[in-house]
Chains A and B, each alone.
Chain A
Amino acid sequence: VRSDLLVAMALLGLAASLAGAVTPPRTRVRLSVALTVAACGCGFALAADVLATGGSASVHTSRLVPLLGLALRLDPLGALFVAVTAGIGACAMVFRLGYRGHGLASRTASCVLPLFITTLLLVPTASAVGTFLFLWELMAVTSLLLVLADHRVRPEVQQAGQWYAVMTQFGASVLILALVLLATHAGSQSFALIALHGPHLSPWVRSMVFVLAVVGFGSKAGAVPLHVWLPRAHPEAPGPVSALMSAAMVNLGVYGIIRVGDTLLGGGPAWWWLLVMALGGLSALFGSLHSSTSTDLKRLLAYSTTDNIGLMLLGVGASGLFAATGHRPLAVVALVAALLHVVCHAVFKGSLFLSASSLQQATGLRDLDRLGGLVTRLPLSAPVFIVAGLAICALPPLCGFVSEWLLLQSLLHGLPSADTAIEVAMPLGVGVLALTGGLTAATFVKAIGVGLLGQPRSQDAGSAREVPASMWGGAGLLALLCVVFGVAPFLVLPAVVDAARSGLGYGAAHPLAQGWSVGLEGVGGLLAPGLLALGLVLAVSVAAGVRQMAQRGALRRTEAWGCGRENQTARMQYTATSFAEPLTRVFDDVLAPSHDLDVSHSAESRYYVESAAFHTTTHDAFERHAYRPLSAGLGWWGRLARRVPNGSVHRYLAFGLAALVVVLVAVG
């Protein structure tokens, strides 16, 4: 039955893609959405079955892909990622029903979007190097086509597409190198056989494969310094696509690192995992810092994805480090925390990207400095954004809190250790987590406070209308899951523990969930999110009651106090830029803000100012100091190389002769 479900999932996805390509425009969207949601349903049922009862599902065929065949096998680790993707995919497709514009209604996009979701669902099931790379490339190409969906209308999309194409192909080529190297040395391309031989390969090969895999998967995950495509591609992609990329696709980078590092290579020396932790810490800090100063809503969310990927990598790295130093229970807890954060991040970031697209559709704006006053104008989309925004700040009783609490616990409990690497890495990890948490809170105070509350800062924001039910419904479903997972993590924890066990090859004998609470086996520590939620609800209602009593209904609504100023406009409110200004100032070494003050004086006298314009931007240090020089250098090299073939036939003949001589000399 399981293999049938796997096949049904793939076929339904392909059928959805076909339906998008051949049916007439009127039925195109609905039919492809229905079929894709069905495929996601199959995928979710399959993954849930694998997670609930253990075991695996496999399909092998030697026909579909030439030479390599297609080998699919779903184990609990992959099943967790399939389940996450299926949930996000279904919600994003429901959202797409009401989504207008951004070129997503075209035949190409309708055909490619289901294909993208199908490959996302299939990548974690791949069980051979060839299949994996084939599906991985298919995923990269389909996502690139979707990022470019709107390229005819907006030129900035083309630039984003170029960045994404280069980065994703760079990552893929590094991955090909890593996996082919691994398969060659292990003597097989099947994951099961590689996992048998992997731990016994020479340390050089193992380390080389791991480092290459971290680079390749890190570029897909958006880990710093390979993140540069993320803040460009995510904002320019259509809403459902950016949600899928941020909530489902980048997870697969984390999946790949766990798969290669823990399963195929069977763990490794401490420095591997310190490298992963360092990448994670850097991503978390850099991402949260940039998201706290971004004023473009989707760019802010994209940087926040880098931040959260960093937290997951921190957990994965800590888990590997614990395993390398023989702390097995801690390794399980850390990996569970990382995987739970994958689930939670998918849920809240999917919801945030979808509702940000709702805001964009309702107002036509992404610029926080021009939004505002939306909580009354979008009474359904705005609360969805707020709930997901509170979840990403890791506030109880929402899901981000549980996963970050687990991560913090696993880092803290590693402290009384005899190992120097752990003693240095863990406090730094805790510090990163703390600073990131603070910056994320500032980011979403800004996003919610400036973007949704207050008065509208522009006419477009003032005339916003609520979006169709499918849009706020798709985003709202994910926001609801934020609450459910936060209050009752025992619904999802056993599955996550299973996945971690299948990743590491050993695990906790009992699931971490104990009744209504989360307990940490082997290290101590207990959290009862349900009680916490109950306490919070009680405290809030008592506070509201006391306030009601104290006010006794005497509430006067007047204008905000503005020092008696006569023309008080919405432009005088706090903006995203002004809110982030202190942070920009504190971290100006990293953010390198550039200010541009343009003052034009009156013609009669320089003492009179006619107009003044102030412009401030922050720059991505990696893009500015690493990628720009690199791309300039490549351009220079290309121009230089262009001089060599100048059209002269004689020169080409001379090249041929020279090459022949070189070959003859080399062979002789």
Chain B
Amino acid sequence: VGKGTFREIARRLGQRPARLGAPAAGEGAARAVARRNRGSLQLRQVDAGSCNGCELEIASCFSPIYDAERFGIRLEASPRHADGLLVTGPVTHNMADPLRKTYEAVPEPKVVVAVGDCARDCGVFRGAYGLAGAVSEVVPVDVEIPGCPPEPEAIIAALRSLSGR
């Protein structure tokens, strides 16, 4: 433990969550979802075959730095309790059915967010033999977040357009 360690701890203790500005107004379906959700968005995350890069970024969304929960966004353990899905990665053959079943299990009305380039169009894995396709080829997608991986700011901005807060 050096002298720098305490300085680092002191710095972090003083650090406040990132300032992220006002939520962007969503478009089309997202706007309707935001109005209905009234500042609360409960999501079940599904890793459909991701390299886990997107998971790291999602995890940091809920870290003290970005603290997405202050915008009413939470990750749920069960799709039964969720307003929608947060899907990452290209959909592999093995995950296509579980993804469909998870989508089935979410109560209506529901929203699907595809996080990252792989979820949008299979990204660098396009054409690989183990893939069933992009997320939108398996379940209907409402919001897409580009990036490989997308930065936490981008993810939170997209989710805030759904939570409306």
Residues of A within 8 A of B (CB): 556, 558-559, 561-566
Chain A residues with CB under 8 A of B58: none
Q: Which residues of A contact B101 (CB under 8 A)?
A: 559, 562, 564
| Contacting pair B104 A559 (CB below 8 A) | yes
Question: What is the CA–CA distance of A95 and B105 in the complex, to the nearest angstrom?
Answer: 45
Task: List the A side residues contacting B107 at CB < 8 Å.
Answer: 556
Proximity bits, B91-135, A CB within 8 Å = 1, else 0: 000000111011011011000000000000000000000000000
Q: Is the CB of B78 within 8 A of A564?
A: no
* A-B pairs, 3 with minimum CB distance: A564-B98, A564-B101, A561-B105
Q: Chain B contacts of A558 at CB under 8 A?
A: 104-105
Residue of B with least CB distance to A560: B105
Closest to B104 in A: A558
Q: Other than the known A556-B108, A558-B104, what 5 A-B pairs have Cβ atoms closer than 8 Å?
A: A559-B104, A564-B46, A564-B99, A564-B105, A565-B98
Contact between A561 and B108, CB atoms less than 8 A apart: no
Look across to chain A and name the residue whose beta carbon is closest to the beta carbon of B103.
A564
Q: CB distance B108 to A564 under 8 Å?
A: no
**Complex Cα gap A561–B104 (Å):** 9
Residues of A within 8 A of B79 (CB): 561
Contact B108 A566 (CB under 8 A): no
Question: Chain B, 3-44, contact with A by CB distance < 8 Å: what is the 0/1 string?
Answer: 000000000000000000000000000000000000000000
- Residues of chain B within 8 A (CB-CB) of A563 are 98
A313 to chain B, nearest CB (A): 48
A566 touches B98 (CB 8 A): yes
When chains A and B are docked, how far (Å) is the Cα of A546 from the Cα of B78?
26
Within 8 A of A (CB), among B51-108: 78-80, 97-99, 101-102, 104-105, 107-108
Q: How far is the CA of A566 from the CA of B98 in the complex (A)?
A: 7
22 contacting pairs across A/B (C-beta < 8 A): A556-B107, A556-B108, A558-B104, A558-B105, A559-B101, A559-B104, A561-B78, A561-B79, A561-B80, A561-B105, A562-B101, A563-B98, A564-B46, A564-B97, A564-B98, A564-B99, A564-B101, A564-B102, A564-B105, A565-B98, A566-B97, A566-B98
**Interface of chain A, main secondary structure:** loop
A561 vs B78: C-alpha distance in the bound complex, in angstroms? 8
Query: Which B residues touch A559, using CB under 8 A?
Result: 101, 104-105
Q: Contacts of A561 on B, CB cut-off 8 Å? A: 78-80, 105
Complex: how many Å from CA A566 to CA B107?
20
| Nearest neighbor of B79 in chain A, beta-carbon distance | A561
Chain A residues, CB < 8 A from B99:
564
**A329 CB to closest chain B CB, in angstroms?**
56
**Cα of A275 to Cα of B163 in the assembled complex, Å:** 69
Residues from chain B with Cβ under 8 Å of A556 in the complex: 107-108
**A560 → chain B closest CB, angstroms:** 9
CA distance A562 to B101 in the complex (A): 9
> With the chains together, A561 CA to B99 CA distance in Å?
12
Shortest A319–chain B CB gap in Å is 53
| Chain B: minimal CB distance from A556 (Å) | 7
Report how far A563 CA is from B79 CA in the complex, Å: 9
Q: How far is the CB of B104 from chain A (nearest CB, A)?
A: 6
What's the Cα separation between A558 and B105 when bound, in Å?
Answer: 8
Which chain A positions have C-beta within 8 A of B97?
564, 566
B46 — nearest CB in chain A belongs to which residue? A564
Residues of B within 8 A of A566 (CB): 97-98
Q: Which of B46, B78, B97, B105 has the most CB of A within 10 A?
A: B105
Q: How far is the CA of A565 from the CA of B102 in the complex (A)?
A: 9
Report the separation of the CA atoms of residues A563 and B44 in the bound assembly, to the nearest whole angstrom.
Answer: 11
CB distance from A265 to the nearest CB of B (A): 64
Residue among A559, A562, A563, A565 with max Cβ neighbours from chain B (10 Å): A563
A558 and chain B: residue at smallest CB distance: B104
Please indicate the chain A residues that have their CB under 8 angstroms from the CB of B80 in the complex. Answer: 561
User: With A and B bound together, what is the CA distance between A564 and B98 in angstroms?
Assistant: 4
Q: Which residues of A contact B105 (CB under 8 A)?
A: 558-559, 561, 564
Task: Identify the closest chain A residue to B95 (Cβ).
Answer: A564
Bound-state CA distance A565–B79 (Å) is 13
Alpha-carbon separation in the docked complex, A562 to B78 (Å): 10
Residues on A with beta carbons closer than 8 Å to the beta carbon of B102:
564
Task: Give B100's nearest chain A residue, CB to CB.
Answer: A564
C-alpha spacing A93/B99, complex, angstroms: 56
Report Cα–Cα, A556/B46, bound state, in Å. 23
Of all chain B residues, the one with the shortest Cβ separation from A568 is B101
A556 to B101, CA, bound (A): 14
A564 CB contacts on chain B under 8 angstroms: 46, 97-99, 101-102, 105
Bound: A559/B80 CA distance, A: 12
Give the nearest-CB partner of B97 in chain A.
A566
Could you tell me the distance between the alpha carbons of A558 and B107 in the complex, rounded to whole angstroms? 10
**What residue in chain B is nearest A554 (Cβ atoms)?**
B108
**Nearest CB of B to A571, in Å:** 18
Task: Name the distance in Å between A645's Cβ and chain B's nearest Cβ.
Answer: 75
A556 to B105, CA, bound (A): 10
Shortest distance from the beta carbon of A553 to any chain B beta carbon, whole Å = 14
A136 to chain B, nearest CB (A): 60
Task: Select from chain B the residue with minimum beta-carbon distance to A565.
Answer: B98
Of residues A556, A559, A562, A564, which shows the largest number of chain B Cβ atoms within 10 Å of its Cβ? A564
A364 to chain B minimum Cβ distance, whole angstroms, is 34
Closest chain A CB from B109 CB (angstroms) = 11
A2 → chain B closest CB, angstroms: 66
Within the assembled complex, what's the spacing in Å between the Cα atoms of A566 and B99?
10
Residue of A nearest to B101 (CB): A564
Chain A contacts for B108, CB-based, 8 A: 556
A294 to chain B, nearest CB (A): 33
A563 CA / B95 CA spacing, docked (Å):
12
Whole-angstrom distance between the Cβ of B26 and the nearest chain A Cβ:
26
Q: How far is the CA of A576 from the CA of B104 in the complex (A)?
A: 30
CA distance A563 to B105 in the complex (A): 10
Q: What is the chain A residue whose CB lies nearest that of B107?
A: A556
Shortest CB distance B130–A (Å):
16
